[in-house]
Amino acid sequence: MSLGPVVAAVPQSCGESLCVFGTGDMGRSLGQRLLQSGYSVVFGSRRPDSCVPVPRGAQVMSHAAAAQSARIIFICIHREHYGFLQTIAPQLKGKVLVDVSNNLEKDMFPEANASHLQRLVPEATVVKALNTLSAWALQNGPSDSNRQTFVCGDSAEAKQAVSEVCTRLGLLVLDRGSLGASRELEDFPLQLFPQWRLPLGIALGLTAAFFFYLLIRDVIYAYVVDGKDISFRIMVSLANKVFPIVSLVMLALCYLPGVMAALLQLHRGTKYRPFPDWLDRWMLCRKQMGLVALALASLHVLYTLIIPIRYYVRYRIAASTISQVLKNQTTEFSQTSAWRTDSYYSMGILGFGLFVLLGISSLPSVSNSLSWREFSFIQSKLGYLTLFLCTLHAYLYGWDKFLRPTSYKWYMAPGYLLSLVLPSVVLVLKLLLLLPCVDRSLTRIRRGWERGTTQ
Ligand code: HEM
């Protein structure tokens, strides 16, 4: 079936005229997108006859004349130049001024740019919007960039008008309330991965702690006590211990706050009392914590893949084979070792597979396509199963090593044993929460029941 020639979609003109003050990158990109979305655009410029080229189809006028041609004016100029707006205050009376500005640093000025603008032109209505989008993002269209834009302002009507324009530009509008929120909005573009700081800090701290612990226990001990220099092991063997250990601990840290929250609700007998701030913050960064843990687990898998091609490993295998040949002896096949190694590899592979699934399902494009029930099934049920499989992998890897006195060098326990403490605690607590009598109480509390009230 022929669908006929494909015709490029031309946006219908909505007939409304919008004004943009400023012909810099932001002003021109915004003007272009407004034109593409069907608006007529008038630029306000200090030098209308000699300003930089504006997008085709737009008009350029003096600020005062441009202001009179539209109800909504986008102020795409730096805060330092807002002063001249006072000189055209009569033309701005009753207009909606959209402040898109940002600052170079936090707390650069005592008041937010949008509040400052409102104070300069009190007879206009200021709305803060579009400041979290770059000129580049506006030019390339919402499919190539972040689609969200925050809007705040004191007039619901003005916010509604600006939101309608943003929606027509293909943006997703999030109302942040009154103009008082504009300082927070102006700080957003200055924040560098705010939700990643805690997870990355924990990962770095744990990595450093376990690295030095294992360096002392494995490398320095061998040098001091046995006189052996095995410092080359730092590069692969040590890394392949530190990364999985930190990954497993961080995976447990993703599930510990949920268990703690449940215990707190059981203890308090209500779900209506807020959690402590630290627990809230911890719960909010679980996704990032899980993704960092997944990245570390992936490094462990890559390091594991190269084990057979390592010079040291090939040397050890060759030396052992030659020694057996010379002695005319063969090491006996151990069913237990075969079962143990195959089992821990298998648990590692299954755990890693589910770990990747958890990571994929936490991507916004995937999680948005899942219902809440599906998302919670993957993140909670499969999440605990992942933790269980990875923990079992480490238990099977360690097997009975923890019983041997030689495993405690300078009284320091093997790394894998330390990595098992937190996951085991989380899994045992989760099992306790799953006991029918405990589960029943928790479900009642989560449905709104409160201890001490008659219902
Ligand atoms: C240890 C393989 C996934 C946690 C090991 C070792 C191997 C291995 C060969 C022993 C390393 C050595 O001798 O130094 C695998 C494979 C995986 C996998 C093939 C999946 C494809 C995971 C995952 C985790 C994990 C997803 C946890 C999140 C650990 C831990 C150790 C370990 C804690 C003990 C480290 C030590 O103290 O030596 N794994 N693993 N593994 N693995 Fe995995």
Residue 4's pLDDT is 40
Average pLDDT over the chain, rounded to an integer: 91
Identify how many contiguous H helices and E strands the chain contains and give both numbers.
Answer: 19, 8
Does the structure show a pLDDT above 90 at 52?
no
Which percentage of the chain shows pLDDT scores above 70?
Answer: 95
Task: Tell me which residue has its CA closest to atom 10 in ligand 1.
Answer: 397
Task: Tell me which residue has its CA closest to atom 25 in ligand 1.
Answer: 244
Q: Can you tell me the mean pLDDT for 39-61? A: 88
Q: Give pLDDT tens digits for 329-340.
A: 988 999 999 999
Q: How many CB atoms lie within 10 A of CB 417?
A: 17
If one residue of 210, 251, 294, 304 were mutated to test the ligand 1 pocket, choosing by the most ligand atoms within 8 A of its CB, it would be 304
Expressed in percent and rounded to 5, the helix, strand and coil fractions of the chain are 60, 10, 30
Contact between residue 348 and residue 393 where contact means Cβ atoms under 8 Å apart = yes
Residue 69's alpha-carbon distances to 29, 64, 82, 144, in angstroms, are: 20, 9, 20, 32
Q: How confident is the model at residue 7 (pLDDT cuts 50, 70, 90)?
A: very low
Q: Which residues surround ligand 1 with Cβ inside 6 Å?
A: 237, 240-241, 244-245, 247-248, 251, 297, 300-301, 304, 345, 348-349, 351-352, 355, 390, 393-394, 397, 415-416, 419
Q: Give pLDDT tens digits for 91-125.
A: 999 999 999 999 888 888 889 999 999 999 999 99
If one residue of 393, 401, 419, 422 were mutated to test the ligand 1 pocket, choosing by the most ligand atoms within 8 A of its CB, it would be 393
Q: Give pLDDT tens digits for 343-371.
A: 999 999 999 999 999 999 988 778 878 88
Q: Which of 2-16, 30-44, 183-197, 380-394 has the weakest average pLDDT?
A: 2-16
Residue 106's pLDDT is 82
Q: Can you tell me the mean pLDDT for 42-71? A: 89
Residue 455's pLDDT is 53
Q: What is the ipTM of this complex?
A: 0.97
* Domains by residue range for the chain, with CATH: 17-190 (3.40.50.720), 194-446 (1.20.120)
Q: Can you tell me the mean pLDDT for 59-77? A: 94
Within a 13 Å sphere around the CA of 348, how many CA atoms are in the beta-carbon half? 21
Does the structure show a pLDDT above 90 at 444?
yes
Residue listed under structure tokens 């593409």: 36
Residue 142's pLDDT is 60
| 249, two tokens | 């601990």
Q: Can you tell me the mean pLDDT for 199-219? A: 97
Q: How many CB atoms lie within 10 A of CB 215?
A: 16
Q: Give pLDDT tens digits for 282-335.
A: 999 999 999 999 999 999 999 999 999 999 999 999 999 999 999 999 889 999
Task: State the pTM of this model.
Answer: 0.77
Measured in Å, residue 348 CA sits from the centre of ligand 1 at 6
Does the structure show a pLDDT above 70 at 246?
yes
| 379, two tokens | 């993140």
Residue listed under structure tokens 């040949």: 325
Residue 145's pLDDT is 52
Residue 8's pLDDT is 41
Residue 62: left if φ>0, alpha if ψ -120 to 50, beta else—which one? Answer: beta
Decide: residue 99, CB within 10 A, 0-12 exposed, 13-18 middle, 19+ buried. buried
Measured in Å, residue 295 CA sits from the centre of ligand 1 at 13
Q: Can you tell me the mean pLDDT for 266-270? A: 95
